[in-house]
Amino acid sequence: MTVRTRFAPSPTGLLHVGGIRTALFSWLYAKHNNGQFILRIEDTDRERSTDDAKNVILDGINWLNLDYDEGPYFQTDRFERYSEIIQELLRSGNAYYCYCTKEELDVMREDALRQGKKPKYNGFWRDRDATPPTNIKPVVRFKTPLDGNVVINDFVQGKVIFQNTELDDLIIARSDGTPTYNLTVVVDDMDMEITDVIRGDDHLNNTPRQVNIFNALGVSEPNYAHIPMILGIDGKKLSKRDEASSILKYRDDGYLPEALLNYLVRLGWSKGDQEIFSIDEMISEFDLQSVNKSATTINPKKLLWLNQHYIKNSDNEKLIFMLNSFFDDMNILTDTGPDLSDLVSVQKERIETVKDLAEQSVFFYKDFKKYDEKMSKKYLKPALLKPFRVLYDEFDNDACWDNETIKSILNKLAEKFDIKIGKLAQPLRVAITGKNISPSIYDTVRLLGREKTLKRLSNAIKFIESLGVS
């Protein structure tokens, strides 16, 4: 039998890393077993589902290159099919109409609580022959078996047993006829021939209800693997309403998709002490038996470390493509500065995200308006006026413009004025970049170019002169 997994998010909020890890595990399991991965959008909650959330799901999956073999399917396109199954369950006696009002249900729950029982529907309309009220639109409830149990041999959680007496007759169709989650999931998994369901362990309590519906339809349920939740750095469950946890926020912050996938695959799954996994290694090594049962917590520092690793080892053209997107948003014209491949080769050894690369490279393309007061006071001191004037002439007169020439000029200047090279390099960095952090001073000067370097060095000389020093 061909392994078929699915990722079935609901578009009721932002897609966060917990959802993407579920998609990744499902995708890897399918790929590992030469199977198929299906994308399904569970959008039956019309009040909370939004087109924006659907687009985030699709954009996130595409950005991470989690290619799906079928889909995306949308549950709102399948209402007719759900209605067919609801009618089938009614005809077979596995479902019934319930006319209880909200007030009556509240009384049932209160009575159960007073008796020390679990507050649930008591099956009032389950086998009732009374004439139903005409002024109430009924819901449809599934007839949960009154005895026995449901055994789930979960790939992650192990053997889990649920007593049917703990379950109530769940609603499978609302009073307006729309199907509910537990019904649609079963129908979709059945029709799409899903063999293995990998999802968050917050769905574990839904599983016995779904298994009972599968049994009523005479269909074998899929295998299940309920993976633990991912917690935020505050120790709380990630929320779909939290923009900071949105998967596209990582893209917009300059993370590489392969770095995020590598990070997520190690959240709850391990293979010895190995930390770096290529996509091919993930596919060949992934197994559900090595997934932990306990929740895991996001570690931003670990993700940054991985992202830095992948940036250092990435092809320049890929980074240039991403960098151009950031520069476009910042209105940076790249024809006014160094070659992008040269820039990336220098910068990628020292930055953590592509967003950092962009923000720390702006000075190569745009002039800064003024010096930071603290930095200028610390670095642009009167004692540097004469060395800067000599340096200007040296840079202006030397025919070559490469790292060796620049290094030679600075070393000779430091020796001439009896200044340590660091005491000259840092003030020069501030003078020509407006910052105290940049690539090596030799790379910085070279990439900036002779014209910009001389212009900014001249500005620095004028600034020091304005302090009243001749």
What percentage of the chain has pLDDT greater than the value 70? 98
Write the CA distances from 208 to 258, 377, 400, integer angstroms: 36, 70, 76
Predicted local distance difference test score (pLDDT) of residue 425: 96
For the chain, what is the mean pLDDT?
Answer: 93
Task: Give me the half-sphere count of Cα atoms (radius 13 Å) on the Cβ side of residue 124.
Answer: 14
Write the CA distances from 404 to 294, 302, 401, integer angstroms: 55, 37, 8
Sign of CA dihedral 327, 331, 334, 338: negative
- Cβ partners under 8 Å of residue 426, min gap 6: 379, 436
What percentage of the chain has pLDDT greater than the value 90? 81
- Reduce the DSSP state of residue 173 to 3 states and report it: strand
174-192 average pLDDT score: 96
- Helix ranges (H only) for 39-101 are 51-63, 79-91
Band of residue 12 on the pLDDT scale cut at 50, 70, 90: confident
pLDDT surpassing 70 at residue 306: yes
Predicted local distance difference test score (pLDDT) of residue 243: 52
pLDDT in tens, 380-401: 999 999 999 999 999 999 879 9
DSSP annotation of 60: H
Predicted local distance difference test score (pLDDT) of residue 58: 95
Asked, as a colleague might, if the bond just before 72 is cis with ω within 30 of 0, I would say: yes
Neighbour count for residue 234 (Cβ, 10 Å): 8
Please give the full DSSP string across 420-451, using - where no structure is assigned.
Answer: -HHHHHHHHHHHHHSSS--S-HHHHHHHH-HH
**195 neighbors 151 (Cβ within 8 angstroms):** no
Band of residue 232 on the pLDDT scale cut at 50, 70, 90: confident
Question: Residue 46 and residue 31: Cα distance in Å, rounded?
Answer: 33
β pairing state of 223-227 and 196-200: parallel
Band of residue 434 on the pLDDT scale cut at 50, 70, 90: very high
Element (H, E) at 262: helix 257-265
pLDDT in tens, 125-139: 999 888 889 899 999
Element (H, E) at 1: none
The pair phi, psi for residue 122, each rounded to 5°, is -95, 10
Lowest-confidence pick of 158-172, 241-255, 262-276, 350-364: 241-255
- Cβ partners under 8 Å of residue 444, min gap 6: 429, 432, 433, 438
53-75 average pLDDT score: 95
Question: Residue 337 and residue 320: Cα distance in Å, rounded?
Answer: 14
Find, among 2, 20, 5, the residue nearest to 197 by Cα: 5
- Reduce the DSSP state of residue 157 to 3 states and report it: coil
pLDDT in tens, 235-255: 777 765 555 568 899 999 999
Predicted local distance difference test score (pLDDT) of residue 84: 98
Question: Residue 301 and residue 282: Cα distance in Å, rounded?
Answer: 22
- The count of residues in the chain is 470
Question: Residue 150 and residue 211: Cα distance in Å, rounded?
Answer: 7
Lowest-confidence pick of 12-21, 209-218, 356-365: 12-21
Predicted local distance difference test score (pLDDT) of residue 387: 96
Radius of gyration of the chain (CA): 32
**449 neighbors 342 (Cβ within 8 angstroms):** no
Q: Which residue has the higher pLDDT, 258 or 245?
A: 258
Element (H, E) at 352: none
pLDDT surpassing 60 at residue 351: yes
pLDDT surpassing 80 at residue 5: yes
User: What is the distance in angstroms between the CA of the first residue and the CA of the last residue of the chain?
Assistant: 86
Name the residue with tokens 């061909």. 2
7-29 average pLDDT score: 93
Name the residue with tokens 């946890």. 245
